Amino acid sequence: MRKLFAVLVIAWIPTVLNAASPPNSFASNPEVQSFISEMSAKHGFETDWLNMRFSRLQPNETVLKAIRPPAVPELQRSWERYRARFLNDRRINTGVQFWQQNAATLARARAMFGVPESVIVAIIGVETEYGRNTGRFSVLQSLATLAFNYPPRAEFFRQQLEQYLLLARENDFDPLVLKGSYAGAIGIPQFMPGSQRSYAVDFDGDGKIDLTRSTVDAIGSVASFLAQHGWQEGGAVANQASLTGDPAPLLALGIKPEKTLGEMNSAGVIADGDPQQAAALIDLVTPEQATEYWVGFQNFYVITRYNRSSFYAMSVYQLAEAIRQRKDSTDDKPASGTN
């Protein structure tokens, strides 16, 4: 009877292990095996430990579908449609509430890093609607999918996969458990793993950086990120512009400020600001509508380091202004029942 039981147990074990590993798991991919060897040689990871984790996962087709550019070209750029996702009463009002609930932390971040409260709030509002939508995808699966099954950006996501595994080891959590965006961004401010390791801060002083549960750490980390990318305290972000000349040469320079506002004025750009201040011409395109032009200064460029899109940076800026204005009007209202 004991011998029969032993035979049954031996026969059952492979079935359980195979059931735990999905078909076409990452562990069967030669590129993943090469990556595991590199992580072992470079960082001292145990190959069995990594193999077990990659064997639990397979490429996620939803992730690949989400990251691919739209199939219909005209849907790729529409400022009007993009802006409407973030500039609405719900996100503005919730932003005011978030600011009021975290006023002391936001003020401390501004004092330490020079970044206005409104901009910090707006970034968190755009990224996760103030922590409400931090993502439902396995971070390890998303990063592995994009590192080994999405050639256009495989190098970047392979670097982020490396950073994520290091982050998990440093913070003593299993990389299988964390959820994030389809691109592998983490927590309330949606930091990529490399950004978390480089720019995030322990702003609540509890000895660890937790961007998934600590709003205080998230606020401090957003401010730290912007400051370390060159935020200019008290500096302008962007001003609306009009054109009398051909915008193409200035647009070709990109979103990094390369010309002074005076030089841009000579090229037909009309916008307020210090003529000696460097700026970039920003075009906000909506199909079948007149293009909206702005000049973006250093602080606009810094916001694009968070997400390298002029649409994104302008949405953050305009949401920040809308939240600030609504908060100011709310703060100025007399309390109910007062004379």
pLDDT in tens, 84-142: 999 999 999 999 999 999 999 999 999 999 999 999 999 999 999 999 999 999 999 99
Q: Is 13 exposed, middle or buried (0-12, 13-18, 19+ CB in 10 A)?
A: exposed
The region that residue 207 occupies, defined by phi over 0 for left and psi between -120 and 50 for alpha, beta otherwise, is left
pLDDT in tens, 281-325: 999 999 999 999 999 999 999 999 999 999 999 999 999 999 999
- What is the rounded average pLDDT for all residues in the chain? 91
Q: How confident is the model at residue 72 (pLDDT cuts 50, 70, 90)?
A: low
pLDDT of residue 23: 75
Q: Which pTM was predicted?
A: 0.89
Share of the chain above pLDDT 90, in %: 87
CA end-to-end distance (rounded Å), the chain: 90
Q: What are phi and psi of 180, to 5 degrees?
A: -160, -155
Q: What are phi and psi of 242, to 5 degrees?
A: -125, 160
Q: Write down all domains in the chain, each with its CATH number in brackets.
A: 23-58+135-178 (1.10.8.350), 79-134+186-232+310-331 (1.10.530.10), 238-296 (no CATH)
> What three-state secondary structure class fits 97?
helix
pLDDT of residue 76: 63
Whether the CB-CB separation of 62 and 182 falls below 8 Å is answered with yes
Name the nearest CA neighbour of 213 among 183, 176, 173.
173
Q: What's the mean pLDDT in 7-11?
A: 35
Q: Which residues are catalytic?
A: 127
HSE-CB of 55 using CA atoms within 13 angstroms:
11
Whether the CB-CB separation of 201 and 224 falls below 8 Å is answered with yes
Whether the CB-CB separation of 282 and 315 falls below 8 Å is answered with no
Distance of CA 144 to the CA centre of its chain: 18
pLDDT in tens, 26-42: 999 999 999 999 999 99
Comparing 16 with 151, the larger pLDDT belongs to 151
pLDDT in tens, 203-229: 999 999 999 999 999 999 999 999 999
Q: How confident is the model at residue 339 (pLDDT cuts 50, 70, 90)?
A: very low
**1 has pLDDT over 70:** no
The two tokens of residue 323 are: 């939240």
